[in-house]
C-alpha cells in the first residue's frame, strides 16, 4: 500500500499523493461509490436513515422541550427536501449538449 504525502502551500509532493492514492486503490473505490450513490434517491434514503437515528436517539434520551425543538428542525428540513424534490420533478436538469 502506498504512502500518502501532502503538499503544503502548493509546494511539496502533491503528485506523490495522487500516485499513492491510485496505487492503494482509494481512487477506484471513490469512483465506484460515486457511481452507485450519486443519485438524489440515494441522498434521500441516506438522509432518512440519519434522521431516523437522530430522532430515535433524541426521543429516547432527551426531555420534551428538546424533542419538540428537534421535531421543528426536522420539519423544516423536510419542507426543504420536499420543495427541492418537487422542483427537480417540475424543472428537470438541462440535457447535455452533444458536440459534433
Task: Dump pLDDT digits (tens) for 80-90.
Answer: 999 999 998 89
- What 3-state DSSP class applies to 25? coil
Task: Dump pLDDT digits (tens) for 16-44.
Answer: 555 555 566 666 666 666 665 568 888 89
Give the helix ranges, DSSP H, for the chain.
Answer: 14-24, 26-37, 40-61, 64-90
* pTM for the predicted model, two decimal places: 0.55
Amino acid at each position: 500500500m502506498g504512502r500518502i504525502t501532502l503538499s503544503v502551500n502548493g509546494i511539496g509532493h502533491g503528485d506523490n499523493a495522487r500516485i499513492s492514492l491510485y496505487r492503494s486503490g482509494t481512487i477506484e473505490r471513490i469512483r465506484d461509490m460515486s457511481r452507485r450513490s450519486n443519485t438524489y434517491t440515494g441522498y434521500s434514503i441516506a438522509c432518512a436513515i440519519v434522521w431516523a437515528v437522530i430522532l430515535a436517539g433524541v426521543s429516547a434520551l432527551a426531555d420534551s422541550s428538546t424533542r419538540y425543538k428537534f421535531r421543528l428542525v426536522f420539519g423544516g428540513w423536510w419542507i426543504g427536501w420536499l420543495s427541492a424534490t418537487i422542483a427537480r420533478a417540475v424543472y428537470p436538469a438541462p440535457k447535455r449538449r452533444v458536440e459534433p
